[in-house]
Copies of this chain bind each other. A is one copy, B any other.
Amino acid sequence: MLKVLVKEIKELRSMIKSWRREGLSIGFVPTMGALHEGHESLIKRAVAENDRVVVSVFVNPTQFGPNEDYDAYPRNIDKDLKLCMNAGATVVFNPEPKEMYFQDKSTSVSVSGLTDVLCGAKRPGHFDGVCLVVSKFLNIVTPDRAYFGQKDAQQVAVIKRMIRDLNIDVEIIPCPIVREEDGLAKSSRNTYLSAEERKAALVLSRSLKMAKKALDNGERDAYKLKELIRVEISKEPLAKIDYVEIVDGDSLNDVEVIERNILVPIAVYIGKTRLIDNFTYEI
């Protein structure tokens, strides 16, 4: 059996190079571990579309703010490994932070504009951390295709912009949100929820569903749609709105009248846990 778990960049690089020499295509799925069915759907798609698939499960410290949950972030490498192998991944990359970052690291990669809104406005530095680690991974793995969950819709838009601006030769493939049966979007952070909070968390998908129905019925006023979502969320005592927005799907600029493809992203605290959800809508 192939060695599945790789911890060193040098070792991963030499595997990649031997695949390249054989003319094999490479898919890449960057995750932070704590894998769930959402990640699994990315991996399976990557396996279907590429000869070799690398999954990274590195919990990237540079994308967490000083008061965020880096230490508490769920980690379960044995479970992750099993899920990756069952889904058909070739290699799971799990470097130590010191393998990824020199102590005197001094290079940053930033996308401006798109990162000033939504989660970026609430989590300063978050997307700089994401851009840095994704740049590094893409340089190490040199994939033909990289797979990202549409649940992190802003991340997808930011990474697409970075790829374009830096001429990185990779196809970015956004994959649909995977949900629990009752509608809650799968998230590694769902494990933080108590039983009561788990129920309350349904307000995210429920409110988005209402907005989508209103769009189907012809509502084109972004303010009214946001109000509809806000009112629904405010009915849930455990929920506290972080943001409810309607933005252009590419630029993430605010939209007032809905005329083209939009993204409707929301972030809501359920107790102390911050959850996000969204849908895209094509006119």
Measuring CB to CB, which residues of chain A are less than 8 angstroms from any residue of chain B?
Answer: 9, 13, 102, 104-114, 131-132, 135-136, 139-140, 142, 161-162, 164-169, 251
Please pick, from B136, B168, B169, the residue contacting A167 in the complex, using a CB distance under 8 A: B136
Residues on B with beta carbons closer than 8 Å to the beta carbon of A251:
104
State whether A108 and B106 are in contact (beta carbons under 8 Å apart), knowing that A9-B167, A166-B135, A168-B139 are contacts in the complex: no
CB–CB A166/B112 < 8 A:
no
Residues on B with beta carbons closer than 8 Å to the beta carbon of A169:
13, 139-140, 142
Please pick, from B9, B112, B164, the residue contacting A102 in the complex, using a CB distance under 8 A: B164
Tell me whether chain A's interface is mostly helix, strand or loop, or mixed: mixed
Please pick, from B13, B132, B165, B167, the residue contacting A106 in the complex, using a CB distance under 8 A: B165
- Give 17 A-B contacts (CB < 8 Å), ordered by A residue: A9-B167, A102-B164, A102-B165, A105-B165, A106-B111, A106-B113, A106-B161, A107-B109, A107-B110, A107-B111, A107-B112, A107-B166, A108-B110, A108-B111, A136-B166, A139-B166, A140-B167
CB–CB B109/A108 < 8 A:
yes
Closest to A141 in B: B167
Residues on B with beta carbons closer than 8 Å to the beta carbon of A112:
106-108
Nearest CB of chain B from residue A232's CB, rounded to whole Å: 33
Given contacts A106-B111, A106-B114, 7 further A-B contacts (CB under 8 A): A13-B169, A106-B112, A107-B112, A107-B161, A107-B162, A108-B110, A110-B110
